[in-house]
């Protein structure tokens, strides 16, 4: 089954763990400065040049010390925390460069990422990004860029348990029990997969995805409904943002991402492993297997190759089935090979077809045209859905 390519697919792929590879394949966008930006101001003109240089640079230098500030821990640790989600090759327009509160050494910068879709010049907006520029004498532009997150959350209440520091948006009440469970979960994941824990994990508790998006500096980000979830992990920053009050501090799926690192398990298992560990969007692993079984009944012609491929757009049901399928493979390997199987997943093939062949070998299934593995996939989903 061939799935239709959709223009929003790159960001959807980013959300399932392949953002690093996709972002590296994208050409630098065209960058312009809006006429409303007062470039007659020396500071505004210098900042506009800095932002143009940054957005036009290759992905691998987007955390360059020359361009990115080092005046707070997040900027030093991770550089641009939104780079995997915003930079999808769309033309960028610098629409705001203006002094922020607190003097003339901090400026607010907004960038609109959008494209004209047709001859009628219909605009397709992708993201409205909010950054800050910090005065930095001695650097090439005299200014450096900085994330919005530390500034947007500086007055939020905090609470620490183990390696986790929780930040609470106004109106959110701390739960010590959930926070303790989250800290224990992070420790257990690191031990299970034999990976080193981050020095510190920063967890932001908000009321909704819209609220945490604003805290991240994304005033707008176009996402399909299937990709708009209650939580997001930024592993390279050691950050989890959660916008599901029913889970609060215990959005364990995203904590697993941060502990394991971006893309652990390759394109197929990057989401399957956290789903096996903690379910997805408040649904347990067994509930995800039940959702997969229902999906398989509704799509009798769907094959593993089609579902796991990266050449088309997935809706919400396909997304759930993909997550659950990844978890199913992790469960099957764990039952067959034990903890050693889990620790080998860091080197599992990332290409979906190579992954399928690897699973066929490891699960000792007969070679063939794919039908053998497809039958196994359906049979094992049914068994796991029933708790067997």
Q: For residue 267, what pLDDT is reported?
A: 83
Mean pLDDT over residues 8-14, rounded?
Answer: 39
Confidence of residue 37 (pLDDT cuts 50, 70, 90): very high
pLDDT at 387 over 50: yes
Q: For residue 121, what pLDDT is reported?
A: 66
pLDDT at 26 over 80: no
Tokens of 81: 């925390």
In a domain, 237, yes or no: yes
Domain that holds residue 316: 285-385
In a domain, 357, yes or no: yes
Residues 50 and 93 in one domain: yes
Over the stretch 242-288, which tens digit does the pLDDT of each residue have?
Answer: 999 999 999 999 999 999 998 899 888 999 999 999 999 889 999 99
Over the stretch 100-143, which tens digit does the pLDDT of each residue have?
Answer: 987 789 999 999 999 866 655 677 888 999 999 999 999 999 99
Residues 166 and 216 in one domain: yes
Over the stretch 201-227, which tens digit does the pLDDT of each residue have?
Answer: 999 999 999 999 999 999 998 765 555
pTM above 0.85, yes or no: yes
Lowest mean pLDDT among 76-80, 141-145, 194-198, 253-257: 76-80
| Structural domains counted in the chain | 3
Mean pLDDT over residues 3-7, rounded?
Answer: 32
The pairing of beta strand 92-99 with beta strand 31-33: parallel
- Most confident region among 82-86, 99-103, 308-312, 369-373 by mean pLDDT: 82-86
**Of 9, 40, 38, 4, which is closest to residue 26 (Cα–Cα)?**
9
Mean pLDDT over residues 24-39, rounded?
Answer: 81
Would you say 136 and 146 are in contact if contact means Cβ atoms under 8 Å apart? Answer: no
- Other beta carbons within 10 angstroms of residue 252's beta carbon come to 21
Residues 136 and 52 in one domain: yes
Could you tell me what percent of the chain has a pLDDT over 90?
63
Over the stretch 243-254, which tens digit does the pLDDT of each residue have?
Answer: 999 999 999 999
In a domain, 4, yes or no: no
In a domain, 52, yes or no: yes
pLDDT at 328 over 70: yes
In a domain, 278, yes or no: no
In a domain, 255, yes or no: yes
Q: For residue 72, what pLDDT is reported?
A: 87
Alpha-carbon distances of 55 from 1, 42, 133, 147, rounded to whole Å:
37, 20, 14, 14
Burial class (CB in 10 A: 0-12, 13-18, 19+), 297: exposed
In a domain, 125, yes or no: yes
Would you say 146 and 109 are in contact if contact means Cβ atoms under 8 Å apart? Answer: no
Q: For residue 4, what pLDDT is reported?
A: 29
pLDDT at 240 over 80: yes
pLDDT at 362 over 50: yes
Confidence of residue 49 (pLDDT cuts 50, 70, 90): very high
Residues 188 and 110 in one domain: no
pLDDT at 291 over 80: yes
pLDDT at 98 over 50: yes
SS (H, E, C) the chain: CCCCCCCCHHHHHHHHHHHHHHHHHCCCCCEEECCCCCCCCHHHHHHHHHHHHHHHCCHHHCCCCCCECCCCHHHHHHCCCCHHHHCCCCCEEEEEEEECCCCCCEEEEEEEEEEECCCCCCEEEEEEEEEEEEECCCCCCCEEEECCHHHHCCCCEEEEECCEEEEECCCCCCCHHHHHHHHHHHHHHHHHHCCCCCCCEEEEECCCHHHHHHHHCEEEECCCHHHCCCEEEEHHHCEEEECCCCCHHHCHHHHHHHHHCCCCCHHHHHHHHHHHHHCECCECHHHHHHHHHHHHHHCCCCCHHHHHCCCCCCCHHHHHHHHHHHHHHHHHHHHHHCHHHHHCHHHCCCCHHHHHHHHHHHCCCCCCCCHHHHHHHHHHHHHHHCCC
Q: Which long-range contacts (CB under 8 A, 24 or more apart) does 32-36 make?
A: 32/91, 32/92, 32/93, 32/94, 33/93, 33/94, 34/93, 34/94, 34/95, 36/95, 36/96
More confident site: 198 or 64: 198
Residues 319 and 370 in one domain: yes
Tokens of 80: 């641009």
Residues 224 and 296 in one domain: no
Residues 77 and 190 in one domain: no
Q: For residue 314, what pLDDT is reported?
A: 64
Q: For residue 43, what pLDDT is reported?
A: 96
Residues 231 and 124 in one domain: no
Q: At CA 84, angle to CA 81 and CA 90, rounded to 5?
A: 115
Q: For residue 369, what pLDDT is reported?
A: 60
Last residue of a domain, one of 231, 262, 293: 262
Q: For residue 3, what pLDDT is reported?
A: 28
Would you say 111 and 92 are in contact if contact means Cβ atoms under 8 Å apart? Answer: yes
The strand pairing partners of 203, in sequence order, are 166, 240
Q: For residue 9, what pLDDT is reported?
A: 37
Last residue of a domain, one of 115, 146, 177: 146
More confident site: 127 or 85: 127
Residues 167 and 254 in one domain: yes
Instruction: Give Cα 306 to chain centroid, integer Å.
Output: 23
Mean pLDDT across the chain? 86
More confident site: 19 or 88: 88
What CATH number should be reported for the domain holding residue 201?
3.40.30.160
Q: For residue 342, what pLDDT is reported?
A: 93
Tokens of 314: 């997935």
Q: Which long-range contacts (CB under 8 A, 24 or more apart) does 190-194 make?
A: 190/259, 192/339, 192/342, 193/259, 193/260, 193/264, 193/342, 193/343, 193/345, 193/346, 194/343
More confident site: 326 or 6: 326
Residues 135 and 168 in one domain: no
In a domain, 275, yes or no: no
């Amino acid at each position: 089954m061939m799935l239709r390519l959709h223009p929003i697919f790159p960001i959807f792929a980013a959300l399932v763990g392949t953002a690093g590879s996709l972002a590296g394949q994208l050409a630098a966008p065209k960058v312009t400065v809006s006429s409303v930006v007062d470039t007659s101001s020396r500071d505004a003109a210098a900042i506009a040049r800095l932002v143009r240089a940054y957005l036009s640079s290759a992905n691998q230098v987007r955390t360059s010390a020359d361009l990115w500030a080092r005046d707070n821990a997040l900027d030093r640790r991770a550089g641009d925390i939104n780079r995997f989600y915003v930079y999808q090759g769309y033309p960028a327009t610098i629409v705001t460069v203006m002094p922020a509160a607190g003097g003339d050494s901090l400026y607010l910068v907004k960038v609109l990422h959008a494209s004209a879709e047709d001859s009628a010049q219909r605009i397709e907006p992708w993201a409205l990004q909010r950054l800050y520029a910090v005065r930095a004498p001695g650097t090439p532009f005299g200014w450096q860029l900085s994330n919005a997150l530390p500034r947007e959350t500086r007055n939020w209440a905090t609470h620490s348990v183990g390696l986790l520091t929780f930040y609470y948006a106004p109106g959110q009440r701390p739960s010590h029990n959930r926070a303790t469970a989250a800290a224990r979960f992070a420790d257990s994941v690191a031990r299970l997969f034999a990976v080193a824990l981050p020095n510190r994990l920063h967890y932001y508790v908000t009321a909704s995805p819209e609220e945490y998006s604003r805290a991240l500096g994304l005033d707008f980000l176009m996402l399909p409904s299937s990709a708009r979830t209650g939580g997001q992990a930024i592993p390279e920053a050691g950050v989890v943002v959660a916008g599901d009050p029913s889970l609060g501090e215990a959005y364990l799926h995203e904590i697993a991402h941060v502990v394991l690192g971006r893309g652990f398990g390759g394109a197929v298992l990057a989401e399957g492993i956290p789903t096996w560990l903690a379910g997805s969007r408040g649904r347990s692993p067994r509930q995800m297997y039940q959702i997969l079984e229902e999906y398989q009944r509704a799509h009798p012609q769907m094959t593993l190759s089609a579902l796991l491929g990266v050449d088309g757009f997935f809706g919400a049901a396909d997304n759930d089935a993909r997550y659950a399928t990844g978890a199913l493979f992790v469960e099957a390997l764990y039952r067959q090979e034990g903890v050693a199987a889990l620790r080998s997943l860091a080197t599992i093939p990332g290409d979906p077809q190579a992954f399928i062949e690897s699973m066929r070998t490891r699960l000792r299934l007969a070679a063939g045209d794919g039908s053998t593995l497809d039958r196994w996939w359906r049979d094992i989903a049914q068994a796991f859905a029933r708790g067997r």
